[in-house]
Structures are given as C-alpha cells and as structure tokens.
Amino acid sequence: MPDIHAVLSPSSSARWLACTPSACLCAEKEDKTSEYAIQGTSAHALAEYKLKKSLGQPTEDPTENLTYFDKEMDDCTDSYQQYIVEKLTEIKQLCKDPVVLVEQKLDFSKYVPDSFGTADCVIVADDTLTVIDLKYGVGILVDAEQNTQMMLYALGALLMFDGIYDIETVTMTIFQPRRDNVSTFSMRKSELIDWAENVLKPKAELAYKGEGEFNAGSHCQFCKVKATCRKRAEYNLELAKYDFEMPDSLEDDEIEIILSKADEFISWLGDVKEYALNQALQGKLWKEYKLVEGRSNRKYKNESAAAKIVEAAGFDPYEHKVLGITAMQKMLGRTKFNELLGDFIEKPQGKPTLVPISDKRPTMKNTAKEDFKEEI
C-alpha cells in the first residue's frame, strides 16, 4: 500500500471523492514540486508569522529564509493578516474570548482513513466555528461553496472542539488576495456531519482500498495519471460521434453537448501530447512519430555587450515604455500601487465568453442584439 497520507489528502479530495480508484494510482506516482507550490509555501510561512505576531503568539520572522519573497507577497500576507484581525473584531462583538488557532493540524481519520491536514486559521466562538484558508495561487479562482478541502478542515476542527463548545454553525472562507477573492460558505453542523457520514466516509473507504468506479470530469485537472486514463479518453472521445461536422449541420442541443465538454476535451488532447513528448524525450520510439528540433528565435550571445556596441555606433538599443500593470504593481507593492495609480487604472469590458448557465458571473447586457435594438 502506498503512503496513505498522500492518497487521501484534503487538497486532492475533490478528485478522489469523484473518482475513488484514482487515489491509489496517483499515490504510486512521484510528486513533482512546482515553482508555484514553493511560492505558496513561502507565502504561507510569512502569513503564519504575521498573524501569530499580531495575536501575540510566539513566532520567528522567516523572511530571510524564504525561497520566494517580493512586495506583492508582503502586501498579500498583510491583507490576509488584516482580514483575520477584522474578522476577530466582528466575532468579539458576540463572543468575548474566541479561540484562535494558526496552522492547526487537524485529524479527520474518523471519516477518512489515516488522513489529516493543516488549517491556516481556525476560530471557535461559542456556537460558531470558522475556518479560513489562504490561497496564494492566481491561476484558478477558488470557491468556498461545497469546497471539500474546506469541509474536511471544518470537520477536523469540529471533531476537536465539539465536545467543548456547543457548535451549531460552520463557516468556511477562502482568502485569495492575488485574485481579490474572498469566498465564504456556511452550513449547519448537522449538514456537515450528514455529508461526512453518508458521502465522505463510504467514498473514502473505497479510495483507501483503490476500489470503486473511475469517473472523468473537471476533477481530472490535477490527476497524475490523466494522460493515460482510459475512462478520461472514453469520456472525451464521445465527441467523436459527431464526426466533427460543421456547426450548421448540428442541432442546438448537440452543440450544447459539445460546448459542455470542449474545454476538457482540449485539455485532454494537450495532456496526451505532453505525455507522448516526455516519453519520447526519455527514449521511447513511437511508430508513427519522431522527435525533431522545433522552431527557435534568434538571440544575442551577450545582450549587454551588443547594447554597448550599438550605443558606440550612435544608436539607442533600448525600448522605452511604461511597465505593464502586473510588473508595476510587483515593483511598487499593492499598497503603494493603489496609492499612486489607483485613479489611473481602468478595466475595460472583457471579451465576450460563452460559459455554462451555472457560472456566477452576470450575463452581459450589451449584446449585438441589444445594440441593434438601440439603433432602431
């Protein structure tokens, strides 16, 4: 049996709850630490220090030892610390002495075999339990609603305090500063326990044993075997029944079926291509494919030396333009950026995008149809 802590981790719970056999398969694969993960670790260490310091808890400044640190991280962790302090101020209006735990290890092995996790911040105030999680990533917007990782953390905290406090309500918050995203979801304690008993526990037992049925979907995104999974291939190849006909030969309901799977289909194709390339780079010889040298762009052997030569010839070798917004904010820091340039920033209307009706963004108003009406 592989390391079971890696099998049933809270962060991958959305996947192993939806596709129980994937848990053990992924655990057999080597973990690859990404640059983004290391950056997130640094941000969490800094956030822990700042929060503990503001709460008067023993702590040491980790800044000098962080792998990553910049003004953006400094500002984001400040925002996280300030958010929790403000939340505590609100809570103290109803409860004079709430319990606040930072980077608290939680055990939920009662429902998930040999599994535990660490919550960034847990606040217990009489009948309310609050769990707050810092997400430093910027690529994916994280929603707290029915978020299984957060529900596991809440469950672990509930198991720790329920015998001491008469908890009735559980509140879970995702704090994602680089996306200006604060997402909160609340549920009754009875609802959380019902989910744990009737959904979580039976599926976790299947996942622990590597049993159950494979199930493909959006949860495949971070699966380690996603490129070679037959169920995922079958799921995506359902589109082949349309023979990729031109849209005007399809009925509306058929087009909507294709739209519902298009993003995952494209992602799957990319994963398969990347897998095949990596295998070839490791020496595999595919029957109908070969490795060739791709297109490359010219570059200076020594950029600074080239610039000096051009300057000596009487020309200006440099481009002069204002830094992009992201680069400017990184240089100035979020607070200083807002102070100096807040009034100079605008956000134009985004490019029209077709999304499922369940998407939380509001429907666009100025469609071509409405523009036409205005002209009449």
Question: Does residue 364 form part of some domain?
Answer: no
The two beta strands, 128-134 and 99-107, are unpaired
* In a domain? residue 13: yes
Structural domain contains residue 363: no
Number of structural domains in the chain:
3
Asked if the structure places residue 243 within a domain, the reply is yes
How far apart are alpha carbons 349 and 112 in whole angstroms? 45
Give the global pTM: 0.77
Do 248 and 321 fall into the same domain? no
Task: Quick: pLDDT tens for 35-94.
Answer: 888 999 999 999 999 999 999 999 999 999 999 999 899 999 999 999 999 999 999 998
Q: Which two tokens stand for residue 197?
A: 């008993």
Location of structure tokens 């056999």: 21
Q: What is the pLDDT of residues 103-128, one digit of tens each?
A: 999 999 999 998 899 999 999 998 99
pLDDT classification of 372: cutoffs 50, 70, 90: very low
> Are 233 and 205 found together in one domain?
no
- Are 252 and 198 members of one domain? no
Residue 26 and residue 77 in one domain: yes
Q: By percentage, how much of the chain surpasses pLDDT 90?
A: 56
Residue 312 lies in a domain: yes
Whole-angstrom distance, CA of residue 131 vs CA of residue 174? 9
Domain that holds residue 74: 4-209
Q: Are residues 13 and 143 in the same domain?
A: yes
Q: What is d(CA 270, CA 256) in angstroms, rounded to the nearest whole number?
A: 22
Asked whether residue 328 is domain-assigned, the answer is yes
Same domain, 201 and 143: yes
Q: What is the CATH number of the domain that holds 150?
A: 3.90.320
Contacts of 223 (CB under 8 A, 6+ apart): 15, 19, 22, 26, 229
The CA distance from 145 to 137, in Å, is 18
Sequence-ordered list of residues with C-beta below 8 angstroms from that of 364, at least 6 positions apart, any chain: 352
Q: For the segment 270-288, what is each residue's pLDDT rounded down to a tens digit? A: 899 989 998 999 999 999 9
DSSP code, position 287: S
Q: How confident is the model at residue 2 (pLDDT cuts 50, 70, 90)?
A: very low
Cα separation of 174 and 183, whole Å? 5
Largest CA distance in the chain: 80
Q: Are residues 137 and 16 in the same domain?
A: yes
Nearest to 120 by CA among 154, 165, 86, 164: 154
Please, what is the angle between helix 334-341 and helix 325-332, to 10°?
A: 120
